[in-house]
Structure 1
Amino acid sequence: MALKKSDLYSSLWKSCDELRGGMDASQYKDYILTLLFVKYVSDKAKVDRNSLIEVPAGGSFDDMLAAKSDPEIGDKFNKIIGKLAEANNLRNVIDQADFNAPEKLGNGKEMVDRLSKLVAIFADLDFRGSRAEGDDLLGDAYEYLMRHFATEAGKSKGQFYTPAEVSRILAKVVGIGKETRQDETVYDPACGSGSLLLKAAAEAPRGMTIYGQEKDNATWALSKMNMILHGNEIADIQKGDTLTSPQFTHGNQLDTFDYIVMNPPFSVKSWRNGLDVEYGRFEYGTPPEKNGDYAFLLHALTSLKSRGKAAIILPHGVLFRGNAEATIRTKLLKQGFIKGIIGLPANLFYGTGIPACIVVLDKENAQARTGVFMIDASKGFIKDGNKNRLRDQDIHKTVDTFNRQVEIDRFSRMVPMAEIADPKNDYNLNIPRYIDSSEPEDLQDLNAHIHGGIPNRDLDLLSAYWDAFPSLRDQLFVANRAGYSDLALDVAQVQQAILDSAEFKNFKDKARGHVVQWFETHRDQLETIDAATVPNDLITALGDDLLKRFKPVALLAEYAVYQQLMSYWHDTMHDDVALIMGEDWMDAAKPRASRLLGYDKNKKPKYEDAHLQFGTGAKAERYVMDLIPPELVVARYLAGEQAQLDDLAAAADEEARKLEVLIEEQATEDGLLWDALDDKGKLTQKSLNAALRVAKNDDDDEAIEALADALALVKREASAKKKAKAAQSALDLKVLNRYSDLSIPELKALVLDDKWQKTLISRVTGEADALTLDLVARIQQLGERYASTTKDLDDELAKLESRVARHLSDMGVQP
């Protein structure tokens, strides 16, 4: 069976559970990533004789597996990994983790059991089909682990990782693209675990020549492994402090590169410690001694070729701080080196919670640059635990806007250099000076509160809705007086009126039609998914075309529609495509046996959740349908049988409902059925028969009649449930048998039409429904806000005062 991304993630995190108790994330990540590395290169060597990584005898994952349960397992693991490291000049890279450390892994049997379980988890993974290009399943897994390790490590130790979403933005705005050649260079002077470098190089169709430097020894080792896992074995990753000991130099000058991407540590206070040679980096000024942000920026600038480009993540302070930094910033702006600024949301990064920005440098045509393109992307994110994360729609919108230099109200703007140089700004680049991204203030209208009516000014702000639904405003509102309107119907009726309107129905139909046409355009591409498909290229083509089709659609935001596709891709479609690629359409659709996951504390087996199960216990037959869930087969081929089952289930539910009513009415403490309840408070045939015998012995006719009626009802319920259960079993068997009869065209119709297209139509039309809820909420807010005038309130107050006066008078109290 092909390895699914979701299964891989689950297995990897399960392996982390085996180690989590003895050490923190900054330590156990080395063990997990080392095992992932050894397993990957061992599997790859079995299918690729030209692999640049040699797996020697005694240095493979199979050798580690053979050491399972061995009393010397820790020492043997170290020796096996040592052989692999020695054969590939990877000493002090892949052998950082000590597998024979009792203080971390436990003593004696505890270590043996822990490492045996760990290697068994990795043994179930099969990377022989993983490729360095196309669907980077392993690379995604590495990112998954990095993100979780960074989350657990926290602020103090989480700086080795740049979130993949941010890396994607840098990679796309720095200028790397389809025309980038393989021999062009990309460099990260503070490369951490290498994820940012890899994301940048992946933007080039054939990859790039990669260079990087990392100060921390353990993180440098992670980066070296990461390069190999991504098929970039020849990447040049050097060790050392970039500011004090740059490794890419010739004499007293820095080597230069075509592209630079970087996420340096923020505001380093000791950046000058050990600095002997400046390498010409501080031509435009020396950064302050206790803040190294501009030191990294100037290092990047000096390391660029004459037409080079860089994208650097920095704290917002570089945009507005004064003194030495203001001098440097002014000179860089006058030279035209700063092409753009992108403000990011707060709390994206693992080393800090402060908001950051991306500074884009571009030496090409710098002297002719007349402005700085700014984006305030700080509002676009989703909460993910205690961090914020960029969504696919946020990434795409930011990248599209920057690369096309599109000005969007409250989001992006080309700021003229003359405005930046104006004395009131004095080369300050703080984004809020130039882009007001705040929401318009919701102003209260005193005249409306006094005299009633909804201000037309507030309704005019909903113009996007009225443009999409031209007659809806006149349907919902009537004129009150000049500049004010009243609701033409009750506030509670607004939502249904919108849903029932012909224009809204037409709007949803058009949205549905766009999805159908888009899907049909790509049907051939989807029907021909095979082992040669490149999933990343596939989803890029699908997503870009969907965006293009919805861009002219009024009201419905194209990036929100795009997010629906991407969410479904991550949740479901990617795994489906991987299955089809790995096993072809027919085999991917076959039911398979549910996997044994392990045993509970009572040593009972635990199985993967099954779609269909026949029997119980150890002898039960459990089936999982990864590609085509049974409900799709039922809906297309067995709808009649499902309808009959639904009727039987409804009949059983009705009998159960009647029984519940009977218990509520007569099984009370003084009721006729009280003595017929069993120990669990239920009426059963056994308990009712026993109570009936007692009633007959007592000649209690009333009780006999009630118990007989209850017994008949219990029997009817049991019979109805039995029929429904039998019908369900019969339907399940028909479903299972139907899978073996499905032809390839039928399989493709089930997946493409009934699963993918139908789901995406539902998601996109759901966006349209969500828009109406926003409109309804705003109309209801306005309607309720101005429903009562001051006269209404005065009249109500007068009524209350009169009522109080009457009560006082009735009590003999003079007002």
Structure 2
Amino acid sequence: MALKKSQLYSSLWSSCDELRGGMDASQYKDYILTLLFMKYVSDKYANDPDALIEVPQGGSFDDMVALKGDKEIGDKINKIIGRLAEANELKGVIDQADFNDESKLGGGKEMQDRLSRLVAIFDGLDFRSNRAEGDDLLGDAYEYLMRNFATESGKSKGQFYTPAEVSRIMASIIGIGPQTMQKHTVYDPTCGSGSLLIKAADHAPKGISIYGQEMDNATWALARMNMFLHNHPMADLWRGNTLASPHFKDGDGGLKKFDFAVANPPFSAKSWTSGFDPANDQFGRFEYGIPPAKNGDYAFLLHLITSLRSKGKGAIILPHGVLFRGNKEADIRRKLIKRGLIRGIIGLPANLFYGTGIPACIIMIDKEDCQLRESIFMIDASKGFIKDGNKNRLREQDIHRIVDVFNRAAEIPRYSRMVPLDEIASEANDYNLNIPRYIDSSEPEDVHDLDAHLNGGIPNRDIDELSEYWDVFPTVRKALFKRNGRPGYSEPRLEPAQVKTAILEHPEFTEYADKVRSIFRKWHRKHRPMLMDLDAGAKPRDVISTLSEDLLERFKQLSLIDPYDMYQRLMDYWFDTMQDDIYLIAADGWKDAAQPRGIIDDKKRKIKETPDLTVKRKKYKMDLLPPDLLIERFFTVEKGILEDMQAEHETASRQLEEFIEENTVEEGPLEDATNDKGKVTKGGITARLKEIKEDPEAADERRALNKCKKLMNADSTAAKAVKDTRAQLDEKVLAKYPELTEDEIKTLAVEDKWFASIRRAVDSELDRLTQTLAGRVKELEQRYAEPLPDIFNQVATLTKKVDVHLDKMGVSVNG
């Protein structure tokens, strides 16, 4: 059976456990990624005469497997890797990690056992069975590992990786797309592990030529491996300091020009001038000014600009300081703005990047018609993210919203704005590009109305602020509020507890809910044939792109529900469940993907899965079709019987619990039947009955003990009945899987699982909408429910009552 993405990720990350302790993540990533590369190319290219990579005799992963338990395993692994490297001009790329380093891997038996276990983990991964073209399973696994390594490496060592979410935004806004050809070029002057270049290439289905330079040798090696794993073996990546010694030059000795460029340079580099004199730069990169000696942000920006063709487009990640810092940087910024080179700026959330916690921005450079540019488009996307461990992360909806808004230059209050250059150049702003100067992203203050607090009523101004709801539900407002006789104020018609029900039952809301469900049904009908026709070789990424983009567009036609929220619901389900399902189908076909598999519970490797079924002490996992789906469709009678038995067991357990609780109080009849933990047991009851025998003075206790024993037996009998019935049903379900036809499997997966889950997500969005409106209405009602004079009167009344009681007690209120 093919690997699931989640299964692959779990196995790979567990392999890191073998190396933790001896070195930090910035070091052990080299070992893990080298083994991943060796395993992948051995599975994919061994014995293939037309392969991109030659797997020589004695240079494959299988040769490593043969070393398990070998006393010289470390040295021999190095030699195996060396043979593969030498055969493919990969010296200095895949042989960075020393597998015979005792300071990191331990000596003697410790190294032998550690490397044997590590090789065994990778040996358990079979990449030959993943046949889906374009599924990029290994590329995604590499991305997963890089993200986790960056997280564990910390601020000082995590700069080799740009979050994929940011990379996708940059690739989407610089113009790479279906029209891009292999002859077009994309360049990253500080390419790190290559993630920005790879995401850019993902947007070019017809291909694009990749160029990059990276100063750190180990990170450059990661980038080379990354390109192979993402099927870009011809990427031209070089080592070296881009500012001091740029590798890519034209025939005249100037910088080579590219169609597109992306970059995430080190923030505020202190020694950027090392190795060259910017004042005498042979490449003419600093015609707009020389950046400060202790801050290289603008040096990288100017290098990127110089490296673009006359119509070239690029995007670079820089700290927010470049937008507003003064002196030399202000002079450079002014000249760039006047030349019209900056097309847009996107402000990102803080704490996204692994090398720093400070907020950053994307500056989009566009040379095409720059002399005609009269404005800069700005987005403040700083509030759209989710917490992910100790970092923030952009959600799918955040990425899509940023890209859509930027590419359409859509102006949205508190989010985006096209800012005229005249405004930027004004005396008040003086070419300062700090986004809050132009976009106020703060939420409007919820102002209390003093008159309403004094005299009652709900301000119409507050009710009017819910106009987006009243535009869709005009008479719902009338159902919730009425005039109170004072101009500008209303009264609630209902108690707060009745508000949500009134909204849900109102004809305008039910009509709206029908529209929402109708959109889902039409989307369902359109895409059902595609999902039912999936087969081995399907492209999962194309599937989710088709589904999600169409869902987003359909919900854009509807008011109130944010279409990006609905898009996120689908994407969450995709990443949680549906992705794995379709990868299995793409690799194995429907019939094989639906079959149960036994579960390995390997405590040493910390791989453990919750079982779907347990039959005769063997655990099974049903990835594509959970047992509940089969039970709901084929075993409803048995399910009903089991539920009745479970209800009987719950009743018996509750009766036993209540009886014990009532009779184990101090000097209660069950007190002497408890153990040292205060729990009544059958053994305690039996012992106590023997002790009191037929003592007439213990008649009540004997009756209680016998009744408790009877209740325990009833509970035990009911529990056994549930267990036996559950086991019988499990047997029937397990036997049903091989009998399922392909059409039945498709119906169970597509209708009962995927569409049913997405339908529930749609209903959840409807419920959230209702809850938001009802919550705000109830908040307003409760805020002004008691005018201040009424509160004073209540206080005065209560004070008088207290005074009367104190007087009766002989306590003087005044003294």
- Which bin holds the TM-score, normalised by the shorter protein? over 0.9
- Larger mean Cα displacement after TM superposition, 193-202 or 490-499: 490-499
Matches within 5 A, 1:498-517: 498-517=503-522
> CA 1:812 to 1:355, structure 2 compared with 1: closer, same or farther past 3 Å?
closer
Q: What is the match of residue 583 of structure 2?
A: 578
* Runs (5+) with no aligned partner, structure 1: none
Match of 1:589 among 594, 599, 602: 594
Match of 2:755 among 757, 760, 773: 757
Tell me if structure 1 keeps the 8 A contact 2:131–2:537: no
Tell me if structure 1 keeps the 8 A contact 2:660–2:708: no
1:34-89 Cα distance to aligned partner (Å, 9 max, x none): 11111111111137542211111111111111111111111111111111111111
1:237-285 Cα distance to aligned partner (Å, 9 max, x none): 0111111100001344100000001111111122112114340111222
1:549-589 Cα distance to aligned partner (Å, 9 max, x none): 10011100000000000011111111000110111001110
C-alpha displacement of 1:432: 1.2
Tell me if structure 1 keeps the 8 A contact 2:397–2:568: yes
Q: What is the match of residue 644 of structure 1?
A: 641
1:348-371 Cα distance to aligned partner (Å, 9 max, x none): 001111111111111111122221
| 1:472 is aligned to 2:476 | yes
Q: What is the match of residue 621 of structure 2?
A: 624
Tell me the amino acid that sits aligned with residue 404 of structure 1: R
Q: What is the match of residue 136 of structure 2?
A: 136
Q: Aligned to 2:196, what secondary structure does the other structure show?
A: helix
| 1:634 is aligned to 2:631 | yes
Q: What is the match of residue 362 of structure 1?
A: 366
Counterpart-to-counterpart distance in 2, 1:656 and 1:596: 32
Q: What is the match of residue 121 of structure 2?
A: 121
Counterpart-to-counterpart distance in 2, 1:178 and 1:201: 11
Tell me the amino acid that sits aligned with residue 665 of structure 1: E
Q: What is the match of residue 185 of structure 1?
A: 185
> CA 1:746 to 1:57, structure 2 compared with 1: closer, same or farther past 3 Å?
same
Counterpart-to-counterpart distance in 1, 2:104 and 2:755: 50
1:125-163 Cα distance to aligned partner (Å, 9 max, x none): 112245796211111111111111111111111111000
C-alpha displacement of 1:729: 1.4
Tell me if structure 2 keeps the 8 A contact 1:478–1:486: yes
C-alpha displacement of 1:742: 1.3
Q: Aligned to 2:46, what secondary structure does the other structure show?
A: helix
Q: What is the match of residue 389 of structure 2?
A: 385
C-alpha displacement of 1:416: 1.7
C-alpha displacement of 1:680: 6.5
> CA 1:271 to 1:517, structure 2 compared with 1: closer, same or farther past 3 Å?
same
Q: What is the match of residue 491 of structure 1?
A: 496
| 1:19 is aligned to 2:24 | no
Tell me the amino acid that sits aligned with residue 623 of structure 1: Y
* Runs (5+) with no aligned partner, structure 2: none
- Larger mean Cα displacement after TM superposition, 227-236 or 512-521: 512-521
Q: What is the match of residue 28 of structure 1?
A: 28
Tell me the amino acid that sits aligned with residue 475 of structure 1: A
Counterpart-to-counterpart distance in 1, 2:609 and 2:567: 32
Q: What is the match of residue 663 of structure 1?
A: 660
Counterpart-to-counterpart distance in 2, 1:419 and 1:684: 82
> CA 1:667 to 1:325, structure 2 compared with 1: closer, same or farther past 3 Å?
closer
> CA 1:413 to 1:814, structure 2 compared with 1: closer, same or farther past 3 Å?
closer
Q: What is the match of residue 105 of structure 1?
A: 105
1:602-627 Cα distance to aligned partner (Å, 9 max, x none): xxx98643211123xxxx22221110
C-alpha displacement of 1:189: 0.3
C-alpha displacement of 1:327: 1.9
Match of 2:378 among 350, 357, 374: 374
Tell me if structure 1 keeps the 8 A contact 2:151–2:158: yes
Counterpart-to-counterpart distance in 2, 1:796 and 1:42: 83
Counterpart-to-counterpart distance in 1, 2:461 and 2:813: 50
> CA 1:781 to 1:308, structure 2 compared with 1: closer, same or farther past 3 Å?
same
Match of 1:709 among 695, 698, 707: 707
Tell me if structure 2 keeps the 8 A contact 1:130–1:136: no
Tell me if structure 2 keeps the 8 A contact 1:310–1:362: yes
| 1:437 is aligned to 2:435 | no
Q: What is the match of residue 166 of structure 1?
A: 166
Tell me if structure 1 keeps the 8 A contact 2:627–2:733: yes
Counterpart-to-counterpart distance in 2, 1:298 and 1:685: 82
Counterpart-to-counterpart distance in 2, 1:681 and 1:383: 44
| 1:410 is aligned to 2:411 | no
Counterpart-to-counterpart distance in 1, 2:100 and 2:463: 71
C-alpha displacement of 1:592: 1.7
> CA 1:814 to 1:365, structure 2 compared with 1: closer, same or farther past 3 Å?
closer
Counterpart-to-counterpart distance in 2, 1:657 and 1:209: 70
Q: What is the match of residue 727 of structure 2?
A: 729
The alignment's C-alpha RMSD in Å is 2.0
C-alpha displacement of 1:320: 1.6
Counterpart-to-counterpart distance in 1, 2:703 and 2:275: 99
1:641-674 Cα distance to aligned partner (Å, 9 max, x none): 1111111111111111111122122244523333
Tell me the amino acid that sits aligned with residue 662 of structure 1: F
Tell me the amino acid that sits aligned with residue 812 of structure 2: V
Match of 1:530 among 528, 531, 535: 535
Matches within 5 A, 1:141-160: 141-160=141-160
C-alpha displacement of 1:540: 0.9
Counterpart-to-counterpart distance in 2, 1:155 and 1:680: 50
| 1:520 is aligned to 2:525 | yes
C-alpha displacement of 1:779: 2.2
| 1:541 is aligned to 2:562 | no
Q: Aligned to 1:107, what secondary structure does the other structure show?
A: coil
> CA 1:422 to 1:482, structure 2 compared with 1: closer, same or farther past 3 Å?
same
Tell me if structure 2 keeps the 8 A contact 1:47–1:128: no
- Larger mean Cα displacement after TM superposition, 704-713 or 338-347: 704-713
Tell me if structure 2 keeps the 8 A contact 1:695–1:701: no
C-alpha displacement of 1:501: 3.2
| 1:263 is aligned to 2:264 | yes
Q: What is the match of residue 9 of structure 1?
A: 9
Tell me if structure 2 keeps the 8 A contact 1:132–1:230: no
Counterpart-to-counterpart distance in 1, 2:352 and 2:711: 61
Tell me if structure 2 keeps the 8 A contact 1:376–1:411: yes
Match of 1:790 among 782, 785, 788: 788
Q: What is the match of residue 772 of structure 2?
A: 774
Tell me if structure 2 keeps the 8 A contact 1:196–1:261: yes
Counterpart-to-counterpart distance in 1, 2:480 and 2:592: 56
Counterpart-to-counterpart distance in 2, 1:337 and 1:249: 22
Tell me the amino acid that sits aligned with residue 358 of structure 2: I
Q: Aligned to 1:310, what secondary structure does the other structure show?
A: strand
Matches within 5 A, 1:67-78: 67-78=67-78
Q: What is the match of residue 336 of structure 2?
A: 332
Tell me if structure 1 keeps the 8 A contact 2:132–2:538: no
Q: What is the match of residue 349 of structure 1?
A: 353
- Larger mean Cα displacement after TM superposition, 168-177 or 776-785: 776-785
Q: Aligned to 1:471, what secondary structure does the other structure show?
A: helix
> CA 1:608 to 1:425, structure 2 compared with 1: closer, same or farther past 3 Å?
closer
- Larger mean Cα displacement after TM superposition, 207-216 or 495-504: 495-504
Q: What is the match of residue 288 of structure 1?
A: 292
1:365-424 Cα distance to aligned partner (Å, 9 max, x none): 112222111111111000011110000000000001111111111111111222222222
Counterpart-to-counterpart distance in 2, 1:381 and 1:622: 39
Q: Aligned to 1:794, what secondary structure does the other structure show?
A: helix
TM-score for the superposition, normalised by structure 2: 0.96
- Larger mean Cα displacement after TM superposition, 332-341 or 569-578: 332-341
Counterpart-to-counterpart distance in 2, 1:421 and 1:45: 59
TM-score for the superposition, normalised by structure 1: 0.96
Counterpart-to-counterpart distance in 2, 1:663 and 1:813: 52
1:744-802 Cα distance to aligned partner (Å, 9 max, x none): 11111110111000101111211121222222332232222212212112212322443
Counterpart-to-counterpart distance in 2, 1:718 and 1:131: 51
